[in-house]
Amino acid sequence: MVRHHRSATTPAALAAATLLVTACGGDDSPSSDDKIEGAGQSSPAALPTEPDAGPEDAEPEDAGPEIELPGSVELVFKDWEPDDPEEQAVLDSGAQSERATYEAITQDPPNPDSEYVASYHVKGTGAWTDTQDWIDGFKDANATVEGKVRFRSPVVEVHDNGTTGSLRYCADESGVETVERESGKVLSAAKPGDVVQYDLTLQKSDDDVWQVAGVNGKRGSCDE
């Protein structure tokens, strides 16, 4: 599922039954004039391909609120524990932003105004508005998602100013389906090997919470 240029089901296309969205590419920069260090620069080399996550992989423990997902959705984060505590905080918020988005989609009805989505995205940025639009599409289509997503190969950087950073990772979304909420009919299913590379820019809030300000997704980059 590539939203904001995430690969995912764009519920607008749900009606056409080809929902696995591919809104890849694009730059979600803050709407204000403030610049985020590292944003807009050319992307580093593509991440190497790694084997599928094994049974030993687990979600990272984090200091944020527990975001509960239904049993039909599983998010697995591999190698999400760096040695640096500030880098860990960035990774935790990146994981929380994913949980928040899936939690909002699986609410009945999907809730684009979820407090968790607002907590982990900078308001007024493309990352925030695109996420809301993406969730709202599921609401309009009366659809939800089911399956497992494996997040791996994280590359995190906290910039010298201490208030902005970047996070890159691969998301194996090949186990995800878009499902009609009432009938349970599968509207679209990801293809085997459907892996998306996400590049996030983040900034620290006044409450010292890392929030996503920009997201770019590119399908296939993790396999190059």
Q: Which amino acid is at 197?
A: Q
Distance in angstroms (rounded) separating the CA atoms of residues 33 and 100: 27
Domain count of the fold of the chain: 1
Judge whether 69 lies within some domain. yes
User: 16 or 132: whose pLDDT is higher?
Assistant: 132
**Cβ neighbours of residue 73 under 8 Å, at least 6 residues apart?**
102, 106, 145, 146, 147, 148
Whether the predicted model's global pTM rises above the 0.95 cut = no
Q: For 17-49, how does the pLDDT look when each residue is reduced to its tens digit (9 = 90+)? A: 333 443 333 344 443 333 333 333 333 333 344
Q: What is the pLDDT of residues 98-154, one digit of tens each?
A: 999 999 999 999 999 999 999 999 999 999 999 999 999 999 999 999 999 999 999
- Tell me the CATH number at 181: 3.10.450.50
The whole domain housing 207 covers 2-29+63-223
What pLDDT is recorded for position 219? 86
Please check whether residue 167 lies inside any domain of the structure: yes
Are the C-beta atoms of residues 173 and 149 closer than 8 Å to each other? Answer: yes
Rounded Cα gap, residues 66 and 83, in angstroms: 23
The stretch 169-181 carries a mean pLDDT of 95
First to last CA, the chain: 19
The band of 164, judged by pLDDT with boundaries at 50, 70 and 90, is very high
